[in-house]
Amino acid sequence: MSQKILFVVYDNGSYDHIFPMGFGALAAVLKRDGHEITVWSQDKHHWPDDHLRTYLDENKFDVVVLSVIAGYYQYKKVLSLSNAINQSKQRPFFMMGGYGPTPEPEFFIKKTGADVVCMGEGEITVCKLMEELEVQKKKTGSYKPGDWLEEVPGTAWLDNDGKLKKTLRAPLIHDLDSLPPIPYELFPMEYYRMQRMPNSNPTDFVFPLMSARGCSFKCTFCYRMDPGYRVRSPENLLDEVEMLNKKWGITYVAFQDDLLMSSVEHTENVCKEFLKRGVPVKWACNGRLNYCSEELLQLMKDAGCVFINYGIESMDQKVLNNMKKGLRPDIIEQGIKDTLKVGISPGLNFIFGNKGDNKETIKKAVNFLIEYDDFAQKRTIRPVTPYPGSPLYYDAIEMGSLDKDNPAEDFYERKHLNSDLICTNFTELTDDEFYDCLKWANTELMKNYYNKQRDRTLKQISQLYEDKDVNFRGFRHGDGALGKAGLSASDIKKQKQNIHQGNEIMDGMVNWEATSSDGDRFNSKTSKVNNSELKGLACFDEYLKKKEKRKLEKNLAKLKKAEAKKSLDKNLQSTDQIH
């Protein structure tokens, strides 16, 4: 029996939104199993929350699904949308999932009135849940949650006495290539492809993808919903990239997984497949600086990479150690230098307020940001937040910053009210001193950013009238804000870029700066996505030569160091014998 399922995609308060990849993954397996899926796209239409109640009153569904991350804005949104669901005359079976409910299912069920929370990776759980819903309806004519949910892995619900019951998580899907393709036709793709990213052109169509799931690192501020790290094969990944390019005109892919640069080997394989296919698509990803080398970054550039988002967090070794970041300041600095050297924009993410942070550590962060800012983004520093499920969350409970009897309610209702304000102070600073640090830091960063924009605008004015630049399209098109000071008019046109405003897309609203140049995406010259003119696998062969050369140089350096130590030991031994 086919279930009629409604996906609720909420509005983040922006005029563009990221494609809901979690719903895409669920839609793939549910469509495969013959279920009927409808998407309620509040993000696109900006309907009031109560529109969902009216929509459910007028349309009959068996199941309604709401997925949410652990943001303060999203939490408030979920409460309002849940109320609309519960007030509808034809209330369906109400299922929740995502990074928000998974670590604290009881809290979310009681707050939202959801029938069930599906915890962790969703494909196996949701398919089994639909099967059991069908059995339950045939038996009782009702979808009321009960012991029948014990047959569904990865679920949490309240029994008749209001006590939480949970089943063990579903096994993880290790062969990601085996999953069915996402039915993109169910979603408003023309809307989602309007997302902007650093170094995207006004005529680019941008779209997010996942190259892998999970993360192998253990940063204390991060909540990992599922353990381990699993990758898609490069062939499977590029098949989807090519399909998106041909069917939906996508020219820029933003990889959203925690870490595309999970290893040198995986990064090499993805780049090699991009070069092999020659698909006219540029891309961005999240990266790790301890996997960076100049030759690997050049390979990524040759394969179409234009932006790497790095989680740096701090330039102080003690703080990095406390958050189990697995980085050193010298590695960070060299990696950013090499990223800029090859022509890729680095995303410089910093947070403040970890254990060991103080006035000196935030100065190090600000100095680094100003020194290496290429102005592809507007960057600020936010306080660290102990999101439920993260190691810092349990530290906050232990130190009494979050109520040990109901930490989730304390977090969502009283402490995490805005991502730019303190939730928990892990430092030895007073809250006032903490805020003084953030105020000073972000004042300096914004002065630096807007002073640069002012200087570029004034330079643009000079170039406009002195060079009689016929390509200038007016300051409203962003030329004044984005022109590269000191470059020729033709170079400026080539190097224009959009700016992604904000520190992250996780909480609150994302706004975008003015766009820049003429529409030339369909010009034959723009089928090349980087300076290498898509030389294909020749780029990869060149990379292997550089990699081998670096390996030999490192081995030679080690050998010289060992010989020098041996010589020193021999001299010391001779000196001892003389004495």
Give the separation between CA 378 and CA 447, rounded to whole angstroms.
11
> Pairing relation of β-strands 63-67 and 36-41?
unpaired
- Please give the pLDDT value at position 449: 95
180 versus 527: the higher-pLDDT residue is: 180
Query: How much is the average pLDDT of 419-425?
Result: 96
Q: Write out pLDDT tens, residues 168-203.
A: 999 999 999 999 999 999 999 999 999 999 999 999
Q: Helices in 306-390 by DSSP H: which ranges?
A: 317-322, 329-342, 359-372
Q: Write out pLDDT tens, residues 195-233.
A: 999 999 999 999 999 999 998 889 999 988 888 899 999
Token pair 């933003």 is found at 254
Percent of the chain residues topping a pLDDT of 70: 89
E strand segments, 47-181? 63-67, 93-97, 116-118, 155-158, 164-166
AA identity, residue 12 = N
- Please give the pLDDT value at position 477: 62
Q: Is 60 exceeded by the pLDDT of residue 570?
A: yes
pTM comes to 0.87
Topology adopted by domain 4-166: Rossmann fold (3.40.50)
Contacts of residue 495, defined as CB under 8 A and 6 or more positions apart, other chains included, come to 484, 487
Helix (H, G, I), strand (E, B) or coil at 6: strand
Closest CA to 532 of 523, 542, 545, 544: 542
Integer Rg of the chain from CA: 26
- Please give the pLDDT value at position 578: 67
Would you tell me how many other CB atoms lie within 10 Å of the CB of residue 144? 11
Window from 135-144, 305-314, 413-422, 504-513 with minimum mean pLDDT: 504-513
56 versus 460: the higher-pLDDT residue is: 56
Closest CA to 340 of 384, 307, 303, 389: 307
Contacts of residue 300, defined as CB under 8 A and 6 or more positions apart, other chains included, come to 267, 271, 308, 342, 344
Q: Write out pLDDT tens, residues 356-382.
A: 999 999 999 999 999 999 999 999 999
Q: Which helix (H) or strand (E) holds 9?
A: strand 4-9
Is the domain 193-384+426-535 a CATH 3.80.30.20 member?
Answer: yes
* Mean per-residue pLDDT over the chain, rounded: 88
- Please give the pLDDT value at position 500: 35
Percent of the chain residues topping a pLDDT of 90: 73
Give the separation between CA 273 and CA 173, rounded to whole angstroms.
23
510 versus 392: the higher-pLDDT residue is: 392
Terminal Cα distance for the chain, rounded: 94
Residue 194 DSSP class: B
Task: Show the tokens assigned to 76.
Answer: 């408030």
Q: Is 60 exceeded by the pLDDT of residue 498?
A: no
Q: Write out pLDDT tens, residues 289-314.
A: 988 999 999 999 999 999 999 999 99
Q: Is 90 exceeded by the pLDDT of residue 422?
A: yes
Q: Write out pLDDT tens, residues 405-414.
A: 999 999 999 9
Give the separation between CA 108 and CA 96, rounded to whole angstroms.
9
- Please give the pLDDT value at position 502: 33
Q: Write out pLDDT tens, residues 229-269.
A: 999 999 999 999 999 999 999 999 999 998 888 888 889 99
Give the separation between CA 181 and CA 480, rounded to whole angstroms.
43
Token pair 């939490």 is found at 75
- Please give the pLDDT value at position 475: 80
Give the separation between CA 321 and CA 188, rounded to whole angstroms.
44
Domain boundaries, the chain: 4-166, 193-384+426-535
513 versus 140: the higher-pLDDT residue is: 140
Helix (H, G, I), strand (E, B) or coil at 535: coil
Token pair 């960070």 is found at 332
